């Protein structure tokens, strides 16, 4: 426990050290997340032995004594933090862009502070500490997102992040102080406030709006940190607080489980469907993060239902599935975001309809994107499949449970999992296919050369982890026998494919292989723009889902007799952002503007207000 | 050698050896109905052998273009290795292997779609776009129907799923078979969903994805197509006839061959009666697969 606290102090110190504008500030800044790897033995020990480390009465705090607690649940969430945090720091050092250099001391300061905030969250054991950790993480995260603050869209995204974050913080405060006051008074209100407040950070629909805005605005490695760790912190707190709450209440009402499951199902489907139609690389990824969050929430919900109705084994299976899903997806999502970051950094293009042929120009980023996509789509032999596999098993076990409610919940979860895994294959083939494969669709991509080879190393680390954690998982943790065989099958698949690729070279025709022209259906495309674009690739699906999506179709036709330049642009709005949040804020803004007269700016008037209130209180007490 | 290893090797070998033959039989039935001679039953063996000796044109494509058919093929071989035989589990079998099977059947779709997008030719991308579109509809149905079989058997293994003593109700079985039939037709690129003999690029789905392949890679694509058809047909046979798992191993594989060839020849007959569906109508038919799987589950749970 002391190791962890010392590490936090060290990371904060690194942050302050980095903020001094010296030459070494990048290295001092990167030292923090690297040193945090020293916590790995502690994490491993806690998981291996299943123990809980505690430290109490260190110092007095408001409301209660400061208490630290680090159990298995916390350790599971620490793993993505350590892995992703380290690679993010490595990526940051390797960046060489001048624009980035301007921000470096500040950037490293906020990176370390965010990191420390997350660690505080994980080792916290008392409510005040949770609030402190959460706030540190949130506001330092705001500055990380606004690294490129000179661009307007970045500032707008930052504001959306800030406002939604703080609205939800209101709910969190309510939840936490009610919880602290007496957890058993209004447990359901606490539950809903926790779900909305912390779920917002995890990307739970309909509180997800900040995520697709913030991800494209942030630099590549920051979005990896957001997707790989910060979203998981949201999941962690929902999981943790509802767990404690349930213990306090005794037997939690069943509708909590249904509520989690329903919110998860909505997020999974909404995320998957919205991801389909995105043009921007990182926006698509952001929606796929929402889908993953949804899947995890479904697992947690079904797990709580199982607990409620007394199926302990089912709950254990589902929670193991959720934990593995979280860790594996943190790895492959951060791989995806960092590869996308490299591509955007080197080509300065983030629209999939303009990218293409990146593999030939930036091979490592290309391989990273393809591998990450295969993993995130939940396909063997990569790591994304393992958690999904356990959750599917949980569904079948739920169907076999002799309880109507669990059976219906399992049917819903199974269908949503199946549908979203089908949709994810579309999304990720679109992402990798349009970005990495084919030919360049614009000049900027065509002329791009790899100018910074150092950026490969963090990607390589994550790629190795992505493959290895699928195949070699049973060597690290004690797993059920089924997972052992699963890993064996995955290894076998890799071996078979590698063997066949090797045999391929021995075939008689192999020496005569050529790289001529493709047949191309008889017509020779002169430009990369003639390729299928991302929008046309998903067109059958978007037209099928017209009812659910708000499709923007701007076609400017010429009115004159002779044809002139016409324009067509299509796009997809986030229904919830456009039709719920924006009208709400417009209303709020209008209401607040009407109240402006109240704040006159004259001291005498304010004194009058105070006098009036005192008078009112006097009268009320009479 | 333990039974598990025999089952594993037997399943892989029968699938590898007989899948092209069964594929040819389906074509032969169709030719016979249409009153033409058509290619030999064994034509696919010759085709694969011919392609393996040729050299390939990789055009401007990347490594993914070469890996894609290999991944598609290997995942199907592994899927064949997971299947049980005659009431005995494969050596690779474990609790939950049905979901690995379902995921393995999806692996080829992902990689082939990437391979198709790799040459940058619009025709291929159109095929890929349609194939993943079908996949969105087929995947939930496949997962659900396998889950139904597992729930009915009370276990979570492929071996238990197809066991003889799972006496599930008649309505439930009809629905399962209907769902599996629709999935089989869609996945093996059969008629209501795709015309296997079409030379018209705009009507291609799975063939569209393979248009720029040549040489050994094209051979693998052809082989994988036949294997996929074999696997889905054998799942259909096993689910429809639980008697299969009571057979001793030396009778099981001949019976499986007979059953699968019946299914594939039935598909050939279906092809002559049905026309290809217009694209907008395909989802309805595929959702029918999901619907019937759901109905099967409801019949089992509440019937």
Cβ-nearest to B55 among A374, A395, A513: A513
Residue A101 · residue A44 · CB < 8 Å: no
Any A CB within 8 A of B142 CB: yes
What pLDDT does B156 receive? 86
Q: What is the DSSP string of A238-288?
A: HHHHHHHHHHHHSS--HHHHHHHHHHHHHHHHHHHHHHHT--BHHHHHHHH
Of the candidates B118, B211, B301, the beta carbon closest to that of A438 is on B118
Rounded Cα distance, B13 and A138, in Å: 58
Q: What is the largest CA-CA distance in chain A?
A: 104
The structure tokens listed for A110 are: 């906020």
For residue A58, what is the DSSP state?
E
Residue A524 pLDDT level (bands cut at 50, 70, 90): low
Alpha helices in A20-126 (DSSP H): 25-35, 40-49, 72-94, 98-123
Looking at the partner chain, which of A422, A489, A509 has a beta carbon nearest the beta carbon of B92? A489
For residue A555, list its beta bridge partners: A568
pLDDT per residue as tens digits for the range A176-222: 777 766 666 678 888 888 899 999 999 898 888 899 989 988 888 89
Give the distance from CA A161 to its chain's centroid.
14
Distance from CA of B90 to the nearest CA of A (A): 12
Which of A408, A513, A526 should we substitute to test contact with B (largest number of B Cβ atoms within 10 Å)? A513
Give the DSSP H or E segment for A525.
none
d(Cα B95, Cα A160) in Å, to the nearest integer? 46
Say which of A356, A396, A415 has its CB closest to residue B140. Answer: A415
Interface mutation vs chain A, best among B48, B75, B107, most A CBs within 10 Å: B107
Above 80 in pLDDT, residue A527? no
Phi and psi, residue A388, nearest 5°: -65, -40
Residues of B in contact with A541 (CB under 8 A): 133, 136
pLDDT tens digits, one per residue of B140-159? 999 999 998 888 888 888 88
**Which residues have CB under 8 Å from B177's CB, separation 6+?**
B236, B239, B240
Chain A residues with beta carbon closer than 8 angstroms to that of B111: 374
Residues B118, A437: C-beta atoms closer than 8 Å: yes
Strand intervals (E) in A279-326: none
Length of chain A: 622
CA distance to partner chain A, nearest, from residue B35 (Å): 31
Q: Are A431 and A535 in contact (CB under 8 A)?
A: no
d(CA A248, CA B178): 49
All residues at 6 or more sequence positions from A249 whose CB lies less than 8 Å from its CB, including other chains: A183, A184, A187
The DSSP element (H or E) to which A553 belongs, if any, is strand A551-556
- Give the C-alpha distances (Å, rounded to integers) separating B183 from A219, A540, A569: 43, 19, 36
Give chain A positions within 8 Å (CB) of B157: none
Residue of A354, A364, A396 to mutate, testing the B interface (most B Cβ within 10 Å of its Cβ): A396
Q: Which residues of B touch A432 (CB under 8 A)?
A: 114
Nearest CA to A285 out of A349, A334, A357, A225 is that of A334
Question: Up-side HSE of residue B118: CA atoms within 13 Å toward CB?
Answer: 28
Q: Look at residue B111 in the predicted model and tell me its pLDDT.
A: 94
DSSP character string of B16-60: HHHHHHHHHHHHHHHHHHHT---S-TTHHHHHHHHHHHS--B-TT
Which of A379, A488, A540 is facing B129, going by the closest CB pair? Answer: A540
Length of chain B counted residue by residue: 303
Answer with the residue of higher pLDDT: A328 or A245. A328
CA A403 to chain centre: 34
Helices A231-249, A152-182: crossing angle, 10 deg rounding: 10
Question: Would an 8 Å CB–CB cutoff place B198 in contact with chain A?
Answer: no
Q: How far apart are CA A497 and CA B67, in angstroms?
A: 8
d(CA A424, CA A470): 19
Lowest mean pLDDT among A504-508, A549-553, B148-152, B213-217: A549-553
Name the pLDDT band for A252 (thresholds 50, 70, 90).
confident
Residue A391: per-residue pLDDT? 93
- Would the CB atoms of B143 and A399 count as touching at under 8 Å? no
Interface test with B, best of A400, A422, A531, A543 (most B CBs within 10 A): A422
CB A236 within 8 A of CB A287: no
pLDDT band at A463 (very low <50, low <70, confident <90, very high): very high
3-state secondary structure at position A72: helix
Q: Which of residues 253-292 of B touch A (CB under 8 A)?
A: 279, 283, 290
Proportion of chain A above pLDDT 90, given as a percent: 36
Which tokens hold the place of A191? Answer: 């539950």
Quickly state the pLDDT bin for A98 (edges 50, 70, 90).
Answer: low
Q: Answer whether B126 touches A (CB < 8 Å).
A: yes
Q: Is B203 on the interface with A (CB under 8 A)?
A: no
**Å between B243 CA and nearest CA of chain A:** 24
Percent above pLDDT 70 for chain A: 93
Q: What pLDDT is stored for residue A100 in this prediction?
A: 59
Mean pLDDT value across chain A: 86
Please indicate whether, in this complex, the C-beta atoms of A393 and B99 are within 8 angstroms of each other.
yes
Which of A396, A422, A428 has the CB atom closest to B140's CB atom? Answer: A422
Dihedral sign from CA coordinates of A511, A512, A517, A522: negative
Nearest Cα residue to A462 out of A176, A228, A253, A620: A228
- Please state the three-class secondary structure of A156-187 as a single string: HHHHHHHHHHHHHHHHHHHHHHHHHHHCCCCH
Q: Which residue has the tokens 């779709």?
A: B109
Relative to beta strand A65-70, strand A53-60 is antiparallel
Q: How many CA atoms lie within 13 A of B109 on its CB side?
A: 33
Determine the residue of chain A that is closest to B143 in CA distance.
A418
Looking at residue A501, its pLDDT comes to 92
Rounded Cα gap, residues A470 and A383, in angstroms:
4
Tokens of A148: 């490129």
Distances in Å between the Cα of A147 and the Cα atoms of A143, A219, A302, A304 are: 6, 7, 39, 40
A413-431 pLDDT per residue, tens: 999 999 999 999 999 999 9
Q: Please give the Cα distance from A186 to A197 (Å, whole number).
A: 16
Q: Which of B89, B122, B159 to mutate to test the interface with A (most CBs of A within 10 A)?
A: B122
> Chain A neighbours among B 224-253 (CB < 8 Å)?
none
Asked whether the beta carbons of residue B106 and residue A425 sit closer than 8 angstroms, the reply is yes
Q: Which of A380, A433, A513 sits opposite B58 (nearest CB)?
A: A513
- Contact flag A515-B139 (C-beta cutoff 8 Å): no
Q: What is the DSSP letter of B274?
A: P
- Confidence at residue A247, expressed as pLDDT on a 0 to 100 scale: 80
Alpha-carbon gap, residue A263 to A208, rounded angstroms:
12
- Cβ(B120)–Cβ(B46) below 8 Å: no
Between CA A343 and CA B112 the distance in angstroms is 23
Q: Is the pLDDT of residue A230 over 90?
A: yes
Q: Convert the pLDDT of each residue in B27-58 to its tens digit.
A: 899 889 888 888 899 999 999 999 998 888 88
Phi-psi region of B47 (alpha: psi -120 to 50; beta: other; left: phi over 0): alpha
**In the block, residue with structure tokens 């793993």:** A79
Put simply, the answer to whether B147 touches A385 (Cβ < 8 Å) is: no
**Residue in the structure block whose two tokens are 């020990």:** A45
Give, as one character, the DSSP assignment of residue B85: B
CA–CA separation, A98 and B213 (whole Å): 44
The two structure tokens encoding residue B43: 């034509």
> Smallest Cβ distance to B140: which of A389, A419, A541?
A419
Asked if the model's pLDDT at residue A526 lies above 70, the reply is no
- What integer pLDDT is reported at residue A108 of this predicted model? 87
B121 to each of A438, A530, B70, B73, how far by Cα in Å?
8, 8, 21, 23
From chain B residues 85-104, the ones with a CB under 8 A of any chain A CB are 92-97, 99-100, 103-104
For residue A20, give the DSSP letter.
Answer: S
B117–A433 CB contact, under 8 Å: yes
Structure token pair of residue A286: 């952001």
Quote the pLDDT of residue B170.
72
What is the 3-state secondary structure of B168-223? Answer: CCHHHHHHHHHHHHHHHHHHCCCCCCCCCCCCCHHHCCHHHHCCCCCHHHHHHHHH
What's the confidence (pLDDT) of residue A26? 79
CB-based contact A497 B70, cutoff 8 Å? yes
Do B99 and B156 form a contact (C-beta atoms < 8 A)? no
Residue B176 burial (C-beta neighbours within 10 Å; 0-12, 13-18, 19+): buried
Asked whether the beta carbons of residue B137 and residue A422 sit closer than 8 angstroms, the reply is yes
Paired strand residues for A56: A67
Please report how many Cα atoms fall inside a 13 Å half-sphere around the Cα of residue A355, on the Cβ side: 33
Per-residue exposure over A389-411, b if at least 16 CB sit within 10 Å of its own CB, e if not: bbbbbbbbbbbbbebeebbebbb
Cα distance between residue B174 and residue B259, in whole Å: 17
Whole-number pLDDT of residue A525? 58
Answer yes or no: is pLDDT of B126 > 60.
yes
The per-residue pLDDT for A545 is: 80
């Amino acid at each position: 426990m002391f190791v962890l606290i010392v590490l936090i102090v060290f990371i904060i110190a690194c942050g302050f050290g980095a903020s001094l504008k010296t030459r070494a500030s990048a290295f001092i800044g990167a030292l923090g997340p690297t040193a945090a790897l020293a916590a790995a033995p502690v994490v491993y020990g806690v998981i291996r032995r299943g123990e809980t480390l505690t430290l109490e009465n260190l110092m007095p705090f408001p409301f209660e004594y400061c208490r630290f607690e680090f159990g298995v649940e916390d350790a599971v969430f620490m793993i993505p933090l350590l892995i992703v945090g380290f690679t993010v720091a490595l990526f940051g050092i390797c960046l060489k862009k001048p624009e980035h250099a301007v921000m470096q001391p500040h950037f490293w300061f906020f990176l370390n502070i965010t990191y420390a905030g997350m660690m505080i969250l994980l080792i916290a054991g008392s409510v005040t500490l949770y609030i402190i950790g959460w706030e540190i993480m949130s506001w330092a995260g705001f500055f990380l997102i606004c690294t490129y603050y000179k661009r307007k869209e970045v500032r707008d995204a930052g504001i959306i992040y800030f406002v939604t974050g703080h609205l939800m913080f209101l709910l969190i405060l309510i939840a936490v102080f009610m919880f602290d006051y007496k957890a058993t008074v209004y447990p359901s209100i606490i539950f809903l406030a926790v779900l909305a407040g912390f779920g917002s950070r995890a990307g739970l629909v309909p509180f997800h709006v900040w995520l697709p805005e913030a991800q494209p605005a942030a630099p590549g490695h920051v979005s990896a940190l957001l997707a790989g760790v910060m979203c998981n912190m949201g999941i962690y707190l929902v999981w943790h607080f509802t767990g404690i709450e349930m213990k306090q209440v005794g037997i939690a009402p069943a509708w909590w489980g249904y509520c989690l499951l329903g919110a998860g199902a909505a997020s999974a489907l909404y995320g998957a469907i919205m991801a389909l139609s995105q043009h921007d690389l990182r926006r698509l990824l952001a929606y796929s993060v929402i889908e993953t969050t949804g899947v995890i929430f479904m697992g947690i919900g079904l797990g709580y239902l199982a607990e409620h109705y007394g199926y302990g084994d089912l709950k254990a299976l589902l929670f193991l599935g959720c934990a593995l899903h979280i860790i594996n997806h943190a790895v492959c999502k951060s791989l995806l975001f960092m590869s996308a970051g490299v591509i955007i950094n080197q080509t300065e293009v983030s629209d999939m309809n303009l990218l293409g042929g990146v593999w030939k120009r930036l091979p490592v980023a290309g391989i990273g994107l393809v591998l990450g996509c295969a993993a995130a789509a939940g396909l063997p032999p990569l790591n994304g499949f393992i958690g999904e596999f356990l959750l599917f098993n949980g569904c079948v076990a739920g169907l076999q449970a002799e309880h109507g409610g669990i059976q219906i919940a399992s049917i819903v979860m199974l269908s949503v999992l199946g549908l979203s895994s089908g949709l994810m294959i579309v999304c990720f083939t679109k992402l990798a296919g349009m970005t990495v494969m084919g030919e360049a669709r614009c000049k900027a991509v065509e002329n791009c050369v790899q100018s910074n080879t150092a950026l490969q190393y963090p990607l390589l680390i994550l790629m190795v982890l992505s493959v290895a954690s699928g195949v070699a998982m049973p060597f690290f943790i004690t797993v059920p026998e089924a997972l052992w065989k699963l890993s064996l099958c995955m290894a076998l698949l890799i071996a078979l494919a590698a063997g066949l690729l090797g045999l391929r070279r021995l075939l008689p025709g192999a020496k005569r292989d050529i790289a001529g022209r493709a047949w191309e259906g008889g017509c020779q495309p002169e430009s990369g723009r003639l390729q299928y674009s991302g929008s046309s690739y998903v067109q059958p699906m978007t037209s099928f889902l017209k009812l659910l999506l708000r499709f923007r179709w701007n076609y400017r036709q010429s009115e004159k007799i002779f044809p002139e330049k016409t324009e067509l642009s299509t796009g997809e709005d986030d229904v919830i952002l456009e039709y719920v949040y924006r009208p709400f804020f417009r209303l709020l803004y209008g209401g607040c503007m009407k109240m402006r007269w109240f704040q006159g700016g004259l001291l005498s008037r304010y004194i009058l207000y105070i006098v009036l209130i005192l008078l009112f209180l006097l009268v009320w007490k009479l | 050698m333990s039974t598990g290893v025999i089952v594993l090797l037997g399943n892989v070998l029968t699938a590898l050896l007989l899948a092209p033959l069964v594929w040819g039989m389906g074509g032969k039935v169709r030719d016979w109905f249409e009153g033409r001679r058509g290619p030999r039953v064994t034509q696919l063996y010759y085709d694969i052998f011919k392609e393996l000796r040729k050299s390939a044109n990789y055009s401007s494509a990347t490594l993914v273009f070469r890996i894609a058919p290999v991944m598609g093929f290997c995942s199907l071989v592994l899927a064949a290795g997971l299947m049980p035989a005659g009431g005995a589990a494969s050596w690779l079998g474990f609790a939950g292997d049905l979901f690995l099977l379902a995921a393995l059947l999806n692996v080829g779709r992902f990689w082939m779609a990437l391979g198709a997008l790799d040459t940058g030719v619009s025709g291929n991308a159109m095929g890929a776009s349609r194939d993943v579109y079908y996949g969105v509809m087929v995947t939930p149905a496949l997962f659900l129907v396998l889950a139904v079989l597992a729930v009915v058997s009370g276990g979570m293994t492929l071996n238990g799923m197809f066991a003889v003593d799972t006496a599930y109700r008649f309505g439930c079985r009809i629905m399962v078979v209907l769902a599996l039939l629709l999935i089989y037709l869609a996945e093996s690129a059969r008629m209501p969903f795709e015309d296997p003999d079409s030379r018209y690029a705009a009507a291609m789905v799975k063939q569209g994805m393979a248009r720029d392949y040549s040489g050994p890679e094209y051979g693998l694509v052809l082989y994988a197509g036949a294997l996929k058809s074999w696997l889905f047909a054998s799942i259909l046979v096993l689910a429809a006839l639980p008697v299969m798992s009571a057979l001793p191993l030396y009778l099981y594989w001949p019976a499986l061959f007979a059953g699968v060839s019946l299914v594939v020849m039935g598909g050939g007959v279906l092809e002559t009666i049905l026309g290809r569906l217009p694209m907008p109508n395909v989802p309805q038919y595929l959702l029918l697969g999901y619907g019937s799987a759901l109905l099967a589950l409801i019949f089992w749970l509440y019937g």
